[in-house]
Amino acid sequence: MTEYTYRIAGEHDLRAITDIYNAAVIAGGSSADLSPRTLEQRKVWVESHQDPYAVFVVEAADDDGNPQTVGFGALSVFYDRAGYDGVTDLAYYVDPAWQGKGVGTYTLTKLLEECRKRNMRKACGIIFADNAGSIALMRGTRHNMGFMTADLLAERWSVNFSDHKGLAMLGKGVMNLSGRNVKFFLAKPLTYMNDSGNAVASISSYYQIEPNHIVVVHDDMDLDFGRIKVKSGGSAGGHNGIKSIDRSLGTPKYARVRMGVGHAQRGAHAHDNTVNWVLGGFGPDQRKQLPEFLADGADAAETIIFDGLAKAQEQFNGR
C-alpha cells in the first residue's frame, strides 16, 4: 500500500498545486462554478490563507524514492457573508492519475484532524477531487441535522465510516431484528445536497436495498425547532435533497424522519434568508436543547427500524 505524507504548502509548491487543480477540474467535468486557474491566481490564493487557515500538499514517493505531489487540500474561509461567520471550508483535489488510490480519503482525514487541532468546530462545504464538486457537510448548522443524527447512531451502534465510491461515508454492521441477524448501513452523502440521491441510489443499488427499507433523516423548515415528524412518501416540501432522492430512487415511498429547524424570515430576500438560515448555527437556547433533540431523532430512526413506521408516527408525531 502506498504511504502518503502531508505538510504545509510553500511557494515552491505553486506549480504542482496549479497543475493538479486544473487537471482535476477538467477531468471531473464539474457543473460547479470551477474553472482552471493561472499560477498567479494560485499564488494569491495560497498567500490568502493566514493562520488558522492553511494549504497542505500530499506527497508520495516516485519510482526513485523522491517525493512527488499527488494532491492538496485547504482550510479556508467559507464565504464572507452573513450567516457564515466562523464556518470553515474544507477543499481537496487529487491528481487524476492518482484517483482511486486513497489519496482523497487520506487528505480529508488529515484536514479534519487539522480542524480539530485548530478548534474549527463549524466546518462545511467540502470540495472533493473525484469530480471537483462541493458537498454539504455542515457541522453545527441547521442543514446538518441528518449528519449529526447519523453520528449519534454511529456511536450507539459502534459503527466506523469509510468511503463509498467518493459519494458517501458509509458505515456497516449487523443487528438483531425480530430474532434475525440483518445487515444495516449508515450513510452520510458526500455530494451536493441537491444531488444526495446519487449517493443513496448508488448504495441501495450496490447492496440491493429496497426503498421501503431506507430511512432518511433530514432538516425541515416547516417544523419548529425540536419537533419531529415521521412519514413515508408525500411531498418533498421544497427540500432539494429529498427531491433528488425521490428522483434517484424513482419513488418517494421510503421512511423519513423530519427534524424541525424553524423557518427563515420571509419577504423580499426570502431565498438569501433561507440559505443563510439553513447554513447558520444554532442560538444559545437551541444549542442547549440540541443534544436531546438529536437523541430524539436517533430514537425515531431506531423505532422505525425495530417497531415499524406506524409505531414511530404514534410515538413522535404528536409531540
Q: Mean pLDDT of residues grouped by 10 in the chain (319 residues)?
A: 90 93 67 68 90 92 90 76 56 82 82 78 41 35 74 89 84 83 86 80 92 90 88 86 92 92 60 48 74 92 93 90
Catalytic option among 12, 143, 239, 271: 143
| Residue 273 near residue 265 (C-beta atoms within 8 A) | yes
CA separation for the pair 214, 301 (Å, rounded): 10
Cell of residue 305, nine digits: 427500524
Residue with cell 430512487: 249
pLDDT at 86 (0 to 100): 55
pLDDT at 281 (0 to 100): 58
pLDDT at 263 (0 to 100): 67
Helix runs in the chain, H state only: 14-28, 39-47, 103-117, 145-157, 196-206, 240-249, 270-278, 284-307, 309-316
Active-site annotation holds for 143: yes
Cell of residue 196, nine digits: 444526495
pTM, rounded to two decimals = 0.58
C-alpha distance from residue 229 to each of 47, 288, 318 (Å): 47, 21, 8
Q: Closest Cα to residue 146, out of 216, 204, 201? A: 216
pLDDT at 29 (0 to 100): 44
Instruction: For residue 160, give the 3-state DSSP assignment.
Output: coil
CA separation for the pair 181, 197 (Å, rounded): 28
pLDDT in tens, 194-250: 788 888 999 999 999 999 999 999 888 788 888 999 999 988 877 888 999 999 999
